[in-house]
């Protein structure tokens, strides 16, 4: 892996009104990492994700992309930074009234000057990357849970993002389908050089694909730096080892 900072969180605090969900978050995601944000239910994983992708302003602190401070930038510059990211939301967030091709084409029509023919070509390529070649005219309701996740992944990759942020990729999937999705995430990182941030409490995913990680502690409302999840499992903070060996009930 290239130890070049791609995302940096500096003294980040997030919350709602007077309630602080997490504070004092300091971490670096290097280029090409599969970086895992882990923790039990209600610890603030999704809130952190929202701060990283520009959906929720943190209470304090900074989020930097390749050294550029996202939340201090002008709105136009923030919009440009957002286009360097692809997001796979927990439920896939596909438009039910649109076909898969139309879903994947949406960001291309919105943010590029590509012709219809060029867009169709890109859409076919992205769907093929996630194993959905030939499913262009299917609607989300006609797909299994795993196929919906892969379709959401194809749309997240539509604009060739530098950074891919994935919220609970295994949620709602059977173990075999979840593992196949994990394998796809690693393949995409390896083939495209994308930096991936995965927000999850799924132990199998954490240990299978993570290069680096942090643990969000719901009790102290701050993070525990854990490094490589496999190392944390053997030698990490007792809370993290408990989480990684007791079904994520920390």
Question: What average pLDDT is seen over the chain?
Answer: 91
Q: Which residue has the higher pLDDT, 63 or 177?
A: 63
Chain segment 13-31, per-residue pLDDT in tens: 999 988 999 999 999 999 9
Q: Percent of the chain at pLDDT above 90?
A: 77
- pLDDT of res. 156: 93
Fold held by 1-84+193-250: Rossmann fold (3.40.50)
Residue 83 confidence (pLDDT): 87
Q: What is the pLDDT of residues 175-225, one digit of tens each?
A: 888 898 999 999 989 998 999 999 998 899 999 999 999 999 999 999 999
Q: pLDDT at position 155, please?
A: 94
Q: 110-126 pLDDT, tens per residue?
A: 999 999 999 999 999 99
The domains of the chain are located at 1-84+193-250
pLDDT of residue 248: 45
Cα–Cα dist 63/12, whole Å: 8
pTM of the model: 0.90
Average pLDDT, integer, range 79-90: 89
> Looking at the predicted structure, is the pLDDT value of residue 249 above 60?
no
pLDDT of 78 > 80? The answer is yes
Return all residues near 170 (Cβ < 8 A) that are at least 6 apart: 178, 181, 182, 200, 202, 204, 205
pLDDT of residue 172: 80
Indicate if the pLDDT at residue 92 is higher than 80.
no
Q: Is the pLDDT of residue 147 over 60?
A: yes
According to the model, what pLDDT value does residue 18 have? 86
The pLDDT of residue 221 is: 95
């Amino acid at each position: 892996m290239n130890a070049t900072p791609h995302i940096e969180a500096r003294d980040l605090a997030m919350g709602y009104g007077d309630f602080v969900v997490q504070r004092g978050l300091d971490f670096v995601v290097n280029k090409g990492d599969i970086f895992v944000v882990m923790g039990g239910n209600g610890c603030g994983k999704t809130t952190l994700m929202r701060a990283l992708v520009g959906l929720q302003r943190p209470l304090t602190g900074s989020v930097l992309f390749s050294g550029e401070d996202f939340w201090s930038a002008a709105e136009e510059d923030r919009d440009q930074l957002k286009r360097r990211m692809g997001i796979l939301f927990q439920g896939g967030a596909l438009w039910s009234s649109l076909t898969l091709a139309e879903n994947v084409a949406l960001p291309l029509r919105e943010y590029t000057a590509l012709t219809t023919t060029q867009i169709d070509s890109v859409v076919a390529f992205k769907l093929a990357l996630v194993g959905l070649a030939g499913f262009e005219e299917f609607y989300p309701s006609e797909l299994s849970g795993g196929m919906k996740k892969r379709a959401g992944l194809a749309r997240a990759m539509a604009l060739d993002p530098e950074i891919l942020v994935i919220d609970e990729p295994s949620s709602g999937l059977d173990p075999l389908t979840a593992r196949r999705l994990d394998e796809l995430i690693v393949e995409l990182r390896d083939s495209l050089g994308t930096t991936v941030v995965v927000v999850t409490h799924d132990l199998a995913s954490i240990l299978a694909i993570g290069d680096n990680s942090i643990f969000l502690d719901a009790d102290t409302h701050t993070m525990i730096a854990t490094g490589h999840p496999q190392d944390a499992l053997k030698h990490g903070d007792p809370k993290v080892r408990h989480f990684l060996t007791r079904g994520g009930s920390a």
